[in-house]
């Protein structure tokens, strides 16, 4: 995830000259401020420089259904300020009227010289139309190729949604150096350090929903809330994978309901067992008809229904068995492995549920990035 190094980029002083690459990296940092409140819209940031490329202002898409990044960046700037100005935006300005007016049409009314964008918008109602509107108004546009991969990483969930009409899935593991997520007795507190755990909470906001298996619900009674002061009182969606409906008897009294309303909780269970949750009105119940060969839930069916129910991205947190099922069924796009310099020896691994018989059957990941979190490491990769 190329954007992580720009999470807390320092805002420049007004008048500081910015090269195009610097301006776009600042726009990326701005975009990430929308984490937890802008989805299911993409995270977008915007930076404005004057005719001499000196910093004027910046903004981001703060809340779904409210003003977009370009509108927020232009606030307080007069047409005189914008004479010959340059606008940098991480995603092509929208061309259509949705919950808010078209940003491309707004920019087309301003005396700016250029709009530089980080990525073409894959949404079919935009997809080049924003650029065309700006060009027709006599405003120069350009894709900044040097930061295209960076801007793409910010909205990879959104791109996947548009292409596949499915939620983007990431698996998150906190492991020892030998790949164990817990001891044989289930103890896992704490394998990783505070910095790793804080970033894991940030990812709960970055992704639309956090998923666990029913075994984790029964054994740990987790809250799964976002405990970061910088993010305020943001609440994520929760998904519980419960094939046999074993969690129906404990969910009502669980710690989950101390932090989450039933309207934000989804239970995925077999079609035959979904009636066990009928006594909880407001709860989203996803019934899956088919099971795969090992008897676990058919995740492909579940993901289709979850997307249709408004879930755009998922971070699967545990336990090891559920993560293994996502890998085995090839239903995951990204791996987030927080690794501590510890060796547990005996214990449970997310790789226990599948076995390659030869090297040709091993699972290959790509575009790996490694981040130092004090003594821990975050290894982030995409599945091929």
- pTM, full prediction: 0.93
Q: Considering Cα of 137, then 143, then 147, then 148, what sign does the dihedral take? A: positive
Do 29 and 302 form a contact (C-beta atoms < 8 A)?
Answer: no
Mark whether 176 and 105 lie in a shared domain: no
Catalytic residue among 21, 22, 70, 92: 70
Mark whether 92 and 174 lie in a shared domain: no
Mean pLDDT of 259-288: 93
Mark whether 173 and 65 lie in a shared domain: no
Mark whether 132 and 230 lie in a shared domain: no
Mark whether 212 and 328 lie in a shared domain: yes
Mean model confidence pLDDT for the chain: 92
Q: Which domain holds residue 242?
A: 165-383
Q: What is the pLDDT of residue 234?
A: 81
Look up the CATH number of the domain holding residue 230: 3.40.430.10
Mark whether 138 and 176 lie in a shared domain: no
**Domain's final residue, options 93, 126, 157:** 157
Q: What is the pLDDT of residue 229?
A: 79
Q: What is the pLDDT of residue 156?
A: 96
Residue 293's pLDDT band (cuts 50, 70, 90): low
Residue 345 pLDDT exceeds 80 = yes
Q: How many domains does the chain have?
A: 2
Instruction: Please indicate whether residue 70 is annotated as part of the active site.
Output: yes
Q: How many CB atoms lie within 10 A of CB 239?
A: 28
Mark whether 153 and 171 lie in a shared domain: no
d(CA 331, CA 349): 18
Alpha helices of the chain — where are they, by DSSP H? 20-31, 69-74, 103-108, 129-136, 148-154, 156-164, 194-206, 214-220, 248-251, 256-259, 299-308, 320-328
Q: What is the pLDDT of residue 177?
A: 92
Mark whether 201 and 324 lie in a shared domain: yes
* Span 80-105, pLDDT tens digits: 999 999 999 999 999 867 777 889 99
Mark whether 324 and 221 lie in a shared domain: yes
Q: What is the pLDDT of residue 43?
A: 96
**Domain's final residue, options 104, 133, 157:** 157
Mark whether 367 and 348 lie in a shared domain: yes
Look up the CATH number of the domain holding residue 38: 3.40.140.10
**Domain's final residue, options 130, 157, 184:** 157
* Span 47-85, pLDDT tens digits: 999 999 999 999 999 998 888 999 999 998 999 999 999
């Amino acid at each position: 995830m190329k954007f992580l190094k720009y999470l807390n980029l320092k805002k420049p002083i007004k008048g500081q000259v910015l090269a195009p690459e610097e301006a776009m990296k600042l726009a990326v940092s701005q975009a990430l401020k929308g984490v937890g409140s802008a989805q299911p819209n993409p995270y977008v940031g915007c930076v404005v420089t004057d005719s001499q490329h000196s910093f004027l202002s910046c903004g981001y898409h703060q809340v779904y259904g409210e003003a977009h990044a370009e509108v927020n960046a232009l606030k307080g700037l007069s047409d005189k300020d914008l004479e010959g100005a340059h606008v940098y935006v991480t995603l092509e300005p929208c061309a259509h009227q949705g919950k808010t007016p078209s940003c491309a049409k707004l920019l087309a009314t301003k005396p700016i010289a250029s709009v530089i964008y980080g990525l073409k918008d894959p949404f079919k109602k935009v997809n080049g139309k924003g650029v065309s509107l700006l060009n027709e108004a006599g405003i120069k546009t350009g894709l900044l190729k040097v930061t295209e991969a960076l801007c793409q990483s910010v909205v990879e969930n959104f791109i996947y949604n548009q292409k596949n009409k499915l939620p983007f899935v990431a698996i998150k593991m906190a492991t020892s150096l030998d790949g164990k997520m817990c001891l044989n007795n289930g103890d896992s507190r704490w394998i990783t350090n505070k910095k790793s755990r804080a970033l894991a909470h940030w990812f709960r906001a970055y992704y639309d929903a956090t998923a666990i298996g029913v075994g984790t619900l029964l054994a740990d009674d987790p809250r799964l809330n976002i405990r970061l002061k910088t993010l305020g009182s943001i609440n994520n969606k929760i998904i519980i994978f419960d094939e046999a409906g074993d969690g129906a008897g404990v969910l009502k009294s669980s710690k989950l309901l101390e932090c989450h309303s039933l309207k934000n909780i989804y239970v995925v269970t077999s079609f035959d067992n979904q009636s066990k949750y009928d006594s909880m009105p407001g709860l989203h119940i996803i019934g899956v008809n088919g099971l795969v060969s090992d008897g676990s839930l058919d995740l492909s069916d579940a993901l289709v229904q979850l997307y249709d129910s408004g879930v755009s991205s998922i971070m699967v947190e545990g336990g090891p068995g559920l993560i293994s099922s996502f890998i085995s069924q090839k239903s995951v796009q990204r791996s987030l492995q927080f690794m501590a310099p510890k060796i547990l020896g005996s214990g449970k691994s997310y790789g226990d549920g599948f076995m390659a018989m030869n090297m040709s059957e091993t699972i290959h990941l790509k575009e790996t990035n490694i981040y130092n979190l004090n003594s821990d490491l975050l290894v982030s990769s995409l599945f091929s």
